[in-house]
Chain A
Amino acid sequence: MRSTFTLWLFAGVPTLFIVALLLAPAAQGVVLSFDRGGPSIANYAAVLRDRLFWRAAAGNLIVPAGSLLVEFAIALALALTLNARNGRIAAVADVASILPFAIPEIVLLALARYIFMPRGYLNGALYAAGAAAIPWLVPGSLWSYATVIVVDAWHVTPVVMLIMVAGLQTIPPELYEAARLDGAGTLATFRYVTLPMLAPAMLAALVLRGIDALRIFSTTLVLTGIEGVPVISTYAYHLWTDAQEPRMAMAASIILAFVIVITALAGLIALRRRAVLTPL
């Protein structure tokens, strides 16, 4: 059966499409980032001299790390809970737990602004409880970092949770029964059965989400603006739009791309080349 030509066509056309629209521009970005009326590293030098870049780099480390921590903790709790429950409660919680992800990111962020703004719903609730208002979004404050982290985690926790539920479902029930008959308590079962069996799924989720987390852009842009909680993506956006420094903007974004590729490679090697692709 000679269908190889058709199959190459089927694989080739979409690949070319992706290369033309995603990879080729990125490659051109690399070229442009080294151009300043001739080949030069001046763009990079300018970026590296900029104090805002270093704040953005720090933000690009703190926010993803915090977000991953929060979303993994909540996702694990949710996954364990949902996996153990049956019936109506489970059905409601099941749908509810995926909803934040179903809400378009920009919609959730718009709402988060109304919730966290100085006279927003959260401070309103604190006021009703007789507590002092908290400056959730004051630029550069610790609170603003915390807020950004929570909102970012809020949106993507469902994805992490779904991966973990998938992982939990591969654990054969006999293992739990065996552990129980061996006299293992709830904590021991979790420590010696659930966690080791779940580790591959968690690692996969970590690589997948870690890459996404490093690309953070909208959350900080919408909640705090560019200088509130700067990250590299918004910093590059700022250079592009406000500062009118397109070549510097490209240099900054290439630095970010480089960091992500290195991280991803490290993650993929850690996964021993297990595929970590999901439809989302």
Chain B
Amino acid sequence: MAELEIRDLGRQFKSGGGVRGVSLSVEAGELFVLVGPSGCGKSTLLRLIAGLDYPERGEIRVGGRNCGDRRDLIAMVFQNHALYPHMSAFDNIAFPLRLRRTPKAEIQRRVADAAALAALQIDLARRPAELSGGERQRVALARALIREPRVILMDEPLSSLDAQLRGRLRVELKDFQRRTGRTIIYVTHDQLEALTLGDRIAVMRAGAIEQIGTPTEVYQRPANLFVATFIGQPPMNILRCRIRPAKASAAPPEQSVPAEPALEIGEKLALAMPFGMSGEVLLGIRPEDLTYNPNPDAVAFEAGFNRVEFVGGGFLAYATVAGQEITALLDQPVEPGRTRWLYAPRRSLHFFDSATHRRAG
């Protein structure tokens, strides 16, 4: 049985926004990431799960129970951690227990346990203002842990930190989850964070879930054009193409995937299109899948290079293929103004229906 089960959840705001018809289930011990651009409804969904807002329809079950007040089952770590600035770290962590009139000795013991689990090694008499960003996060984690919730919700806890600290805390969070075995639902707008952190991720747009899957599934088999372009940086190239109906297989010079303004493809049509679609399609190619190396199993593009940026690990080239802009992440620089052939392995190509934008094949 799923730890958290959401069925057909709906909540609309007058200003637009909200979530509509969201269903998902999260298993115990899973780190589940909700990712999407700002305004996609991911924070609304999290607030609905937390009980900070109330759905207009649908239901939320935690541990199989559908109860109105889930505050005993759920803890939340907020964007800026929302520590109480006028309380010491100890009092911050102990606050939920104090509200429940827990005996002093037990508070002492449980705060110590929670601090240890959160790897918090500071003088707990200090106030949040005297703590570093990382220490604050650990206090927030300890405060979330102390009530022994079934699910911990995290609303972009890293987004206000600088890049370096973020990277470190991401590792720490993953460790934390492994160590404590907690079920975590994590909201972020950062697709990289989603990929690196999540056991599974749900990509959201306009109040609805576009795809749920493991990071590799979502990255390698995006369910639609939105997911394809949202996940991955630099974003996936999309080329408008026309597929001609398959001719007789014995037509070697025939071009296999000719784009609207014709694209050179070094392959047979029948092999490239096993799903037998034709007409307008959208072809997706990740910039990192493009190379200079001809490969027997690759499609070739003749690219006119406009601009090249050195991005540390390689060169990000901006090129035009048959009048359409693409980017390619290459290991060698290329002179702007030149034309060269780029190759992409056939299995790395993504096809999307030009009308529904859904994945085709």
Contacts and interface: CB of A to CB of B under 8 A. Distances in A.
Interface residues of A, number: 1
Interface string A1-19: 1000000000000000000
Nearest to B53: A1
Nearest to A2: B54
A207 to B, nearest CB: 33
Interface string A50-61: 000000000000
Interface string B48-67: 00011100000000000000
Main secondary structure of the interface of A (DSSP, over half): loop
Main secondary structure of the interface of B (DSSP, over half): loop
Contacts of A1: 51-53
A69 B64 CA distance: 74
Contacts, number: 3
A151 B95 CA distance: 56
B184 to A, nearest CB: 22
A5 to B, nearest CB: 15
A225 B248 CA distance: 115
Nearest to B52: A1
Interface string A98-116: 0000000000000000000
A1 B52 CA distance: 5
A261 B128 CA distance: 49
A1 B51 CA distance: 7
A270 B208 CA distance: 47
Contacts of B51: 1
A1 B53 CA distance: 6
A265 to B, nearest CB: 31
Nearest to B50: A1
Contacts of B53: 1
A161 to B, nearest CB: 34
Interface string B29-59: 0000000000000000000000111000000
B55 to A, nearest CB: 14
A163 to B, nearest CB: 31
Interface in A1-40: 1
A40 B324 CA distance: 86
A209 B86 CA distance: 38
B137 to A, nearest CB: 23
Nearest to B54: A2
A267 B124 CA distance: 55
A266 to B, nearest CB: 34
A1 B70 CA distance: 12
Interface string B288-305: 000000000000000000
3 contacts: A1-B51, A1-B52, A1-B53
Interface of B: 51-53
The list of the 3 closest CB pairs from A to B, nearest first, reads A1-B52, A1-B53, A1-B51
